[in-house]
Amino acid sequence: MLAWVIATAAIGMGLAGAFSYVVQLNRLEIRIEKALEQEIEELRTFAEQGIDPESGVPFADVGRLLTVALQRNIPDERQTFITLLDGEVGAPPRQLGRVPLEESQVILDRVRSLSRESDGISGSASVGEFDVRYAAIPISIADRPELGVYVVGYDLGGERAEVNDSSRTFALVAFGALLLVGLVGWVVAGRLLRPIRTLHQTAQRISDTDLADRIEVVGHDDVSALGRTFNAMLDRLQTSFETQRNFLDDAGHELRTPLTIVRGHLELLDPQDAQDTRETRALVLDELDRMHRLVDELVLLAKARRPDFVTPAPIQVADLVQDVLEKSTALGRRDWRLDELDDGVMIGDEQRLTQALLQLTSNAVKYGQPDDTIAVGGRIDGPLVRLWVRDTGPGIAATDQQRIFERFGRADDGRGVDGSGLGLAIVSAIASAHGGRVEVASTLGEGAMFSLELPAEGPSNSPA
C-alpha cells in the first residue's frame, strides 16, 4: 500500500515537474521573442528619429548611426549586439554574454542577404558551444548608398540552463518530499495496520479451548473500529462456546442419574410380577418427566445468552403483578397477599418476567408451610423497576444466599425438597437479559424476599 502511495505521488510530482518545465520553456521562448522585437523596434525608431549627439542634426552616415546605437544600448546578460556595414562587421560588438555572433557564418550569410526593402529576419543558430536566438534589421539613410545591419542575439543555452537548474531543484525537493512521505507513511501505516497484525496473530492463537484473547484497541479510526468489532465477535463466540459447554456438562451430569435409575429398575423388572411392573412403570415415567423438565430448563438457560431471548415491549406494572398473583394462588394453599401496585409502565418481556416471578412464588410454596404468607409487589423508583416476592418461610442461611443462584446450587436445608437447582439460575438469567439483577434478603427462620431490579427503559439493546 505504501509503495503504491509513493509510486502515485512520484508519478504526480513527475508529471507536475514535466508540465512546469514545458511551461517555463514556452514562457522563455515568448520572453526572448518579445525582447528581440523590442530591441528591433527601438532601433527602427532610433534610425528614423535619432539625432547625432555631436552635430545635433539627424544622422547623415549609416556607420555613425550604428556606432551611436551600440554605444547607447547596454546589453542584458546573455545578450549580444553586432553591426554590419555593407556586409562587413563594423563597429566593435557589444557582447556581455560572450557569444561571438560574428563567428557564425550561418548568421552572417543570412543578414548579408538583407536589402533596403527587407523588414528584417529572425532565427536560431549554433555558435560554437552556444545556442543562439537572433534577429536582424537593415538600416539605411536616404541618398546614401551604404547599407547597415543591426543584429541582436540571445544565448538560449544560458537561459535554458536557469530553467534546467530550477527543474533540478524541483526534482531534489520532490525526491526529499517523497522520502518524507515514505517515512511518515511507514510510521502511520505501521500504527494503522498494527491492529490488523494483532488481529491476525490473535486469530491464529484462538482455538476452541481458548477464546480469552482480545485485541488491544487504541483510537477511533476505521481500523480501531475493526478491532472492536472483532473483539465483540470473540465475546459472542466465547459466550456461545461457554453456553454450549455448560449445557453439555450439565446435561451429561444431571441426566446420568435418572438414566441409571431407569436402567437399574428395568434390569431388575420381573415381567411376570404385575405389581413390580406397575411400580417400575410409575418410577420410569416419573424419572422421564424429571428428565424432560431438566432438559427444558437447560435449554432455557442455554437460550438466555441469545440476543432474542427477550422481546421488550411496554408493560403495565400493576397488570403484571396482579396476573402473577392470580396464577400463583393455584400453586398451593397459602396466605396470598398483594404488597404494592404501581400504575407506571416499564419496558420488558412480560412472558419472561412472569416466568421469573412464578418461579419465585413456586419456590416459596415448595419450601414453606400452608400457614405461611406469600406476597407479590411492584414499584417504579425513578429509572428502576422493582418486582418482588416475599414469604414468611424458613428463610435462607447467609452462606447459601449467593450459591442458590448458581446452576444446580441449592441451600443445604433444602436438599429434601424436589427440584433441579436450576430455577433461581433461570430467574437470574431473565434479570440479566433485561439489564438488571436479582437479589435476596433473608434471615434463617424469618422468611425471604427476592427482588428483581430492572431498568424501566428496558435492556440497553432494546428497540424501545
DSSP character string of 218-273: -SSSHHHHHHHHHHHHHHHHHHHHHHHHHHHHHHHHHHHHHHHHHHHHHHH--TT-
What is the structure's pLDDT at 416?
Answer: 46
Q: Are residues 34 and 128 in the same domain?
A: yes
The Cα 26–Cα 235 span in angstroms is 66
Task: Identify whether 141 is part of a domain.
Answer: yes
The Cα 152–Cα 37 span in angstroms is 10
Q: In terms of residue numbers, what domain contains 243?
A: 222-303
What is the structure's pLDDT at 464?
Answer: 40
Task: Identify whether 252 is part of a domain.
Answer: yes
Which amino acid would we find at residue 426? I
All cell numbers assigned to 70: 551600440
Task: Identify whether 69 is part of a domain.
Answer: yes
Per-residue pLDDT of the chain (464 residues; tens, 9 = 90+): 778 888 888 898 889 889 988 998 888 888 888 988 888 888 888 888 888 888 888 888 888 888 888 888 777 777 888 888 888 887 565 555 567 888 888 989 998 998 888 888 988 888 888 888 899 999 888 888 889 999 998 888 878 888 888 888 988 998 998 899 888 888 877 776 776 777 777 777 766 556 777 767 767 777 677 778 888 887 877 777 776 676 666 666 556 767 777 888 788 888 888 888 888 888 888 778 877 777 777 777 777 667 778 889 999 999 999 999 999 988 888 999 999 888 899 999 998 999 899 989 998 998 889 889 999 999 998 899 999 999 998 888 888 877 887 766 555 544 445 556 678 888 988 999 899 999 999 888 889 999 999 999 988 754 44
Q: Indicate left, alpha or beta for 98 from its phi (over 0: left) and psi (-120 to 50: alpha).
A: left
Task: Identify whether 318 is part of a domain.
Answer: yes
Q: Are residues 156 and 22 in the same domain?
A: yes
| Domain endpoint, select from 303, 324, 355 | 303
Task: Identify whether 189 is part of a domain.
Answer: no
Read off φ and ψ for residue 107, nearest 5 degrees. -65, -45
In terms of C-beta density within 10 A (0-12 exposed, 13-18 middle, 19 or more buried), how is residue 29 classed?
Answer: middle
Number of domains making up the chain: 3
Q: Are residues 79 and 145 in the same domain?
A: yes
pTM of the model: 0.47
The Cα 283–Cα 276 span in angstroms is 10
| Domain endpoint, select from 120, 148, 164 | 164
Task: Identify whether 177 is part of a domain.
Answer: no
In terms of C-beta density within 10 A (0-12 exposed, 13-18 middle, 19 or more buried), how is residue 150 classed?
Answer: buried
Contact 378, 371 (CB under 8 A): no
The Cα 428–Cα 439 span in angstroms is 9
The Cα 361–Cα 340 span in angstroms is 16
Range list of H helices, 306-410: 317-328, 350-367
